[in-house]
A and B are shown apart, each in its own frame.
Chain A
Amino acid sequence: MSDAAPASQSAPQPEPQYATVEQQAEAASFGMWVFLATEVLFFGGMLLAYTWLRANHPDGVAEAGRHTTVVIGSVNTLVLLTSSFTMAWAVHAAEHGRQKALTRLLSATALLGLLFLGLKGYEYHGEWTEHLVPGLNFHQDGPHARTIELFYFLYFLLTGLHGIHVTIGIVLIALLAVRARRGAFSARYYTPVEVTGLYWHFVDIVWIFLYPLIYLVGRSGP
């Protein structure tokens, strides 16, 4: 270590199990993709439950969908899509060793994530006052009341789990922003930025599918 100190300052050395820095970065990226594949199934079980509910009780699900706040859902989709854009841009900045831009873009991504959570919290508050929270505060009349209850049960599971993912992402990205500010990354070493970016884009993709399933169902109906 000590004899190669000046060289390791400028050019990062791979960990002993890797031949090159490139191979090490590739392994990290592969690991994240394997994790994301398991995440697909994490959300997949609940999407299967949603599919069952919608296939068997289409009218009730349509009525439940009309209870959701489509404006907040759409604005939140725009927020997440934009945050994915700033994250991809951040990885590009890291690739080219642009420290200042990297710090700013990571901060912007984290702030957009916070905006998403804030809007989601406001929406949850609205659902509480409208008695749409199964188990705690649910009261609906009409022939589809129980289907609406099941829909909102899945709604809170899916958006809650997604919200936890967003929260974890915000924390990771904020930590990266601090490290970037301190100059921890360079054009030769930015693997944490790239891998966290993959995670953030995945969270965005989950929302891309949740958006029509939750907010757009039943909109063409009465």
Chain B
Amino acid sequence: MTTRTTGLPRSYLFTWAALVGLLAATMALAYVPMPGPLNLVLALGISAVKALLVLALFMKLFRAPALTRAAAAAGLFWLAVLFALSATDYLTRKVEPAGDLSAPTGREYQQGDR
């Protein structure tokens, strides 16, 4: 990193510019019709890049001690466990206990129908 003691480090300015650029990109791409889940994949991909920039440069994760990096990785690991083990249930279910969400509601409809 630049070690000028006055002013701001240039790497932070570039990081901020990159984050703003990615925000503009993700917003514009959201309005472009794409096949299948491509819109979602692109949006989450851009979010992941933004998060990585914040983690690596603002939070200085990649220059942090190994113990710190392990703690950060543990958060993601357990999130993956949460999603993966839940998927073993939801992806193999035939009946959804939440019921039929396509029924019309609004409070007054609900009481009239049932």
Contacts and interface: CB of A to CB of B under 8 A. Distances in A.
A197 B59 CA distance: 8
Contacts of B112: none
Interface in A75-94: 77-78, 81-82, 84-85, 87-89, 92
A216 B23 contact: no
A43 B40 CA distance: 19
B5 A96 contact: yes
Contact of B83 (A48, A78, A89): A48
Interface string B37-79: 0011001101100110011011100001101100110111011
Contact of B23 (A29, A78, A197, A220): A78
B95 interface: no
A209 B52 CA distance: 12
Contacts of B88: none
B57 to A, nearest CB: 7
Contacts of B15: 85, 88
Contact of B30 (A34, A88, A205, A220): A220
Contacts, number: 154
Interface residues of A, number: 62
A6 interface: no
A interface majority secondary structure: helix
Interface of A: 26, 29-30, 33-34, 36-41, 44-45, 48, 51-52, 55-57, 60, 70, 74, 77-78, 81-82, 84-85, 87-89, 92, 96, 98, 138-147, 149-150, 197-198, 201-202, 204-205, 208-209, 211-213, 216-217, 219-221
Given A56-B101, A92-B8, A138-B107, 5 more contacts: A41-B82, A140-B105, A201-B59, A212-B46, A216-B30
25 contacts: A29-B64, A30-B65, A39-B75, A40-B75, A44-B79, A44-B82, A48-B82, A48-B86, A52-B90, A56-B96, A81-B20, A88-B57, A141-B104, A144-B102, A147-B102, A197-B59, A201-B55, A208-B47, A208-B54, A209-B51, A211-B23, A211-B47, A212-B47, A217-B40, A220-B32
